[in-house]
Chain A
């Protein structure tokens, strides 16, 4: 399907329209500077000119290895401006992961800070890369793999404006976002302009984001959950408030208070942290803060209660999504009457069905695998036809998530298909053991994974990682006895390890492969 109207198709077209509508309105800012819509569009167009000069063309991939910053937004929009495909990546990913991903997506250019350039210089060259760009003239190598590093600052001064961005079709690939790889190697998720337009619509409809909103942004822009906020802000003409102080909550929250943010998307861990030691600073946002959005990880009911009491005038939303499907659900949890165990109803335009092992649709309340259909479902994984055949059926994506839908249409997540522990043929869902563990008064949090049975008889056995509440003591045998009182014997963890806290990815998810490597 091609274009049917003058409705903006791409983020660049949204930017052009908003620039024409409100050129002097703040689009993006951090502690070091502010970009109006006019300034952002101009800078992106100039950098697009610099990219085109070195041969970056339509459909070519450009890896963007930058932390959250205006430079990220300028680079992303510049790549999109010429119809090329931005591939945002974590600049602090391990060398192994970076090498894996760069070899996979074969970018023709890389945008990165000097420090990342130095790390890449130590790796074997990626043949596809023909140019390096840096957003500043920081000290660092002058070239990588015998390619000079070009400074964007020069491009901003010297290159002529490009008058019009390339026209794109809604079903062309707009960006490739790599999955976080909590259970597998990272895969490149191809998202089209149509996918991103649906993602924007979903945010606008469920959260009511509008042109007067100022979104406090701490989520990594190299993940879709964070990238969405940039797309939404540009599409509706809102303001995205970034910060260089995300690691220092006192400074961050004071900055957000001064900036009078109205929206604050994050992960539960962020808000648990603020409620613990920065309660007053979080409460101080309440005068302007219209909504909080909690995503990517389980939200304990106590955290919701605490947020309600500290921010009584702020709406509290929970959302569930996947890189492959955008946002799947968004629910309003402002009222304490909303069951905290759900992740809300399907977002507008999203169809969620629960299916059993034979792909028959499950009854309400029955646990099965979640299938998602919507305009947000990806075009496919980059160069992975076998994986695509396994998970995609047209616009329908077969997730690995297990859950059920209650009588009110709310989706409940209970675990993942591939997390099931097979102990001599008996199956255990980790969430079931985790639930029992969290019921123990001395246990603050827990995660359960499958590990090989050391005797080699049972195949896999459950292993628990337990975080104790402060000031209590408990040993492995106490934990096992507690489980034995509530679970079948094969579900009782054979091994128990105690951790100060569970490891988390940059988005607050527990990386199971990392747990399996721990003693």
Chain B
């Protein structure tokens, strides 16, 4: 699965969440998923499970941090590192 496909699938998942529409009106949703309550702690774990299935990886509980999961960019960077993908600069 390419980075673009993962990003597409992740955004498709997130934009269907009830918190997204309300949070989107406030701006900056993609880099504040927890801050804007698009994901609360329980929804975050469901999202983690979704990402695990999507990418065929296991995410350690200690990796579920603000750096990796509060924003789409941070998540993609984390997944790149996890999957050993080197992005062309």
Binding site for B on A (CB under 8 A): 92, 94-95, 115, 118-119, 245-251, 269-270, 273, 276-278, 281, 500-501, 503-504
Contact = CB atoms under 8 A, between A and B. Distances in A.
Given A119-B26, A278-B61, A251 B45 contact: no
A247 B40 contact: yes
**Do most interface residues of chain A lie in helix, strand or loop, or is the interface mixed?**
helix
Which of B45, B61, B65, B70 is packed against the most chain A CB atoms within 10 Å? B61
Given A247-B34, A248-B34, A251-B65, A273 B26 contact: no
Which of B39, B45, B70 is packed against the most chain A CB atoms within 10 Å? B45
Given A94-B22, A115-B26, A119-B26, A247 B39 contact: yes
B66 A273 contact: no
Given A247-B34, A500-B46, A273 B41 contact: yes
A501 B42 contact: yes
A245 B41 CA distance: 10
Contacts of B37: 92
A269 B44 CA distance: 13
Contacts, number: 51
B22 A248 contact: no
A158 B58 CA distance: 53
Nearest to A253: B61
B41 A270 contact: yes
19 contacts: A92-B26, A95-B25, A118-B27, A119-B26, A247-B34, A247-B40, A247-B41, A247-B70, A248-B41, A248-B64, A249-B61, A270-B41, A273-B41, A273-B45, A277-B45, A277-B61, A281-B61, A504-B40, A504-B42
A282 to B, nearest CB: 11
B34 to A, nearest CB: 4
A269 B43 CA distance: 12
Contact of B61 (A92, A119, A250): A250
B87 interface: no
- Nearest 8 pairs of A and B residues by beta carbon: A247-B34, A250-B62, A277-B61, A250-B61, A273-B41, A92-B37, A248-B65, A247-B41
B42 A249 contact: no
Nearest to B28: A115
Contacts of A278: 61
Given A250-B61, A270-B41, A277-B45, A92 B66 contact: no
Contacts of A251: 65-66
A367 to B, nearest CB: 32
Nearest to B63: A250
Contacts of A246: 41
